[in-house]
Amino acid sequence: MSTAGFGALDGVRVIDMTQMLAGPFSTQLLADHGAEVIKIEPVDGEGSRKTGPFCDDDLRREFGGYFASVNRNKKSIALDLKQPDAREALLRLTDRADVLVENYRAGVMDRLNLGYEVLRARNPKLIYAAIRGFGDGRTGKSPYVDWPAFDVVAQAMGGLMGINGPDAATPMKVGPGVGDLVPAMLCAFGIVSALHSATKTGEGQFVDVAMADSVLALCERIIHQKSFQNLTPHPEGNKHPLLAPFGMFRAQDGFITLAAHTDAWWRVLCRLISREDLIVDSRTATADARIKNRDFLYAEVERFTSHKTKRQLLELLGGKLPFGPVYDVDEILADPHFTHREMIVEVPHPGVERNVRIAGIPVKMSATPGKVHTRAPLLGEHTDLLLREIGYADTEIRALRELRTIA
């Protein structure tokens, strides 16, 4: 039977016990490609539901843009896991699941008697994935295993802020929450790898992703620079420490980026900006010379680019060498690339008459393309449906709701 039109993970059931950004983004990646993702929320809702921004005309405020952007394609069931009946419902859900993902601090699930060993004893094929600041003791206990962490902590301790910034003395965080998003992507990769292993062995496993580790992996260059050169890298601004020109240049109305670090690309750039003299100039003729004389090189190239608009430079350089203007969101929305690639997606939003826009699916697959098919769920939108699926009668569901065990 052809799977055309289905996501590659169609048939995979994921119990999503995550919150904020790292965990929800990871499970959304799975949902985008067909997994059935069941979001387990407290009866008052996951905390990020209350985080904006909100549309001006949204009087309901069920959730804002933050929650909408990382929880699409999911179902929601609300359980008070401090109550035994709610924990029993969760256990019955995990009995039928392939994956459970959580990003609580270490020990929280164990204290609820819902840790990996408990769930594995009931469902040996279950893949249990955890994203924490400094990992889980099951795979290697960090001295910081109990520390809470957010994106900025991972960026700092994983080395990213130490090499990012305008100058050597000013470390700076990266704008988007890459301390969350990179571990989220690696966690999704780990889950899919574990699913593949489980099809061969029939056994699940524990997938452990530390946010600090993930950021260090993103910054891999700093390790080999220290090992090979005994160098301690520092912020380099918008210039690459090992390649030139490879970075950002001023335009008349903003900035552009280009990479012309090889001799071949350098010759192309010099001809396009009518600076053939730099091809033979001893300060810029070779790759080594260009690195040693970066400041001179960048100044000479900017003598040309700073007098041209981004559009003029795009028409001159675009497609002829690695080049791209520095876009703001309005320019992204106007660029046909992102429209053709379906990277701007419209979804309905409760309480708002118009559709809202969120980022689309970045992984394109020919036979199983994945799809944004539902908005983020309302709190407990699927509670009754999911409880019925695992054998609860309507009378039992009503009784649990009256006790606020569920919502």
Each residue's pLDDT tens digit, 271-307: 999 999 999 999 999 999 999 999 999 999 999 999 9
Residues 324 and 355 in one domain: no
Q: Which of 301, 329, 357 marks a domain boundary?
A: 329
In angstroms, the Cα distances linking 35 to 98, 335, 368, 372 are: 10, 31, 12, 12
pLDDT of residue 236: 86
Cα–Cα dist 158/156, whole Å:
6
The answer to whether position 232 is within a domain reads: no
> What is the percent of the chain where pLDDT is above 90?
98
Residues 205 and 272 in one domain: no
Q: Is the pLDDT of residue 1 over 70?
A: no
Where in the sequence numbering do the catalytic residues fall? 180
Residues 51 and 118 in one domain: yes
Residues 302 and 393 in one domain: no
Q: Range of 159's domain?
A: 13-218+341-402
Cα–Cα dist 164/161, whole Å:
5
Residues 148 and 255 in one domain: no
Q: Which CATH number characterizes residue 293's domain?
A: 3.30.1540.10
Residues 137 and 182 in one domain: yes
Residues 26 and 117 in one domain: yes
Q: Which CATH number characterizes residue 125's domain?
A: 3.40.50.10540
Residues 153 and 28 in one domain: yes
Beta bridge partners of 38: 15, 75
Residues 312 and 380 in one domain: no
Instruction: Give the SS3 label for residue 115.
Output: coil
Residues 254 and 286 in one domain: yes
pLDDT in tens, 220-242: 999 999 999 999 999 989 999 88
Instruction: Give the SS3 label for residue 79.
Output: strand
Residues 295 and 361 in one domain: no
pLDDT in tens, 19-69: 999 999 999 999 999 999 999 999 999 999 999 999 999 999 999 999 999
- The size of the chain, in residues, is 407
Tell me if 125 sits within 8 A of 198, measured CB to CB.
yes
Tokens matching residue 133 = 């600041």
Q: Which of 329, 356, 383 marks a domain boundary?
A: 329
Residues 169 and 287 in one domain: no
**In sequence order, which residues have a C-beta less than 8 Å from that of residue 300 and are 6 or more positions away?**
275, 278, 284
The answer to whether position 336 is within a domain reads: no
